[in-house]
Amino acid sequence: MYAADTYHLIKAGLSGGKKVAETVRDHPRAFVTLTAPSFGPVHNRMTDSAGKHRPCGCGIRHAEDDPALGTPLAPATYDYTGAVLWNAHAGALWARFTTYMRRALAEHLGMTQKALNAALRVSFAKVAEYQKRGLVHFHAVIRFDGPDGHTTPPPCWATFDALQVAVGLAVERARLTVKSDAIGERVIAWGGRFKVDPISALGHGELTDARVAEYTDAKVAGYVAKYATKNAEGAGTVDRTLMCRSCKGRGYVPGPDLFHDHCTDCDGTGQAESIKALPIQQHVRQMIRTAWDLGHLPEFADLKLWKWAHMLGFRGHFSSKSRAYSTTLGALRDVRRAWRLAQAEAARARAGLPVDGEDTTLVTASSWTYLSSGYRPGEELLAAQVRHDIAHTRRLRQEGLVPA
């Protein structure tokens, strides 16, 4: 349902519908992919310009499904700290990118920021996806609108080419500096590999070259919806936080005397599950372990690295959009809820049942799967004790030792 809603949200921002003007398909729109820089060479599967499969740096021609792909050639020297900190700042770097893009656009067009903002609105919708190397990257739809959003056409000088130039400049310029006594100063920036492709409406507008035909409204919406639900699967990590809920990762809880007491739930490790024992690849484990270790540094407290270690440091939303882009997931849910309610009331009316008002508890999509039957181990002991007690009481009663 989340994927379907995301699809409609992105699609509405590209083709109109769901209260978005249909003229948005004539606005300049780009499908942009931004990636992380390198933190050390990784096993790869590259092809040369002729499309021939080149051997990796390790000398092997890796198969497509080789689990080694994306993992470091030299784990001992791979910059795990840099990689985790990059993931942890990816959301902030994206925010900075959007600001710099507006600035770069004004600069490229020879306008002031104020004049640009008065005539043009830039809308964004993005999703995060994990690469095999455990770093997130972003896919985004960027659209130019007129001053009042999607209902107004953008000015004629706001072209796809200007958008492309502005993205390039903003990718180069957006950076964050992280300062820490323990690890020194780090600059968080985008990798040199990024893509900007125009999006064309299907069967609409002039297809001037082969590249234009590559991305259509429906195709881009489909990609984005797919990425939005893939979450961290791509990185081969686990789907739950590793932070002990009782002590929030600290390993201790305040005792009655206000001194710190050892947390018995995690035996003082702060971890709900032992990182060492997780059934994951060594590279992913090292990313998690690095995130956990950095979580001890007070300067990184805001990054909540214990809570998000299983996400390899990334704590952003998988999908997000600027307010003006299109409808919202909440609005789509409200429409669905209203529709279901109307359906349920119609069904009650047909069955001759009284139609309830707003207070009706409506059971929405529920599905049940079979897990097992019988007692769990602890419950089994209790049940045995209860059976024994009942049998014992019955015997005493039969023997006349207790009143019936």
Binding site for Zn ion (CB under 5 A): 43, 56, 58, 244, 246-247, 263, 265-266
Shortest reach from residue 325's CB to Zn ion, in Å: 40
In the bound complex, what is the minimum distance in angstroms from residue 288's beta carbon to Zn ion? Answer: 17
Instruction: Please say which residue, 70 or 316, places its beta carbon nearer to Zn ion.
Output: 70
Q: Based on CB atoms, which residue is closest to Zn ion, 33 or 44?
A: 44
**Secondary structure element (H or E) that encloses residue 84, with its range:** helix 80-109
Q: Among residues 308, 79, 313, 301, which one has the least CA distance to residue 180?
A: 301
- CB closer to Zn ion, 74 vs 381: 74
Q: What residue has token string 């390198």?
A: 38
Residue 353, SS3 per DSSP: coil
- CB 144 within 8 Å of CB 158: yes
Least distance to Zn ion, CB of residue 133, Å? 12
Q: Is 73 exposed, middle or buried, given 0-12, 13-18 or 19+ CB atoms closer than 10 A?
A: middle
Say how far apart CA 167 and CA 190 lie, in whole Å.
12
Q: Which is nearer to Zn ion, 52 or 350 (CB)?
A: 52
The number of beta carbons lying within 10 Å of the beta carbon of residue 223 is 19
Distance of CA 279 to the CA centre of its chain: 22
> Tokens 């209203």 belong to which residue?
338
In the complex, the smallest distance separating the C-beta of residue 70 from Zn ion, rounded to whole angstroms, is: 10
* Residue closer to Zn ion, measured from CB, 271 or 326: 271
Contact 231, 318 (CB under 8 A): yes
At closest approach, how far in Å is the CB of 42 from Zn ion?
8
CA distance 390 to 394: 6
Alpha carbon 69 to its chain centroid, in Å, reads 22
Shortest approach of Zn ion to residue 33 CB, angstroms? 24
Q: Which is nearer to Zn ion, 164 or 286 (CB)?
A: 286
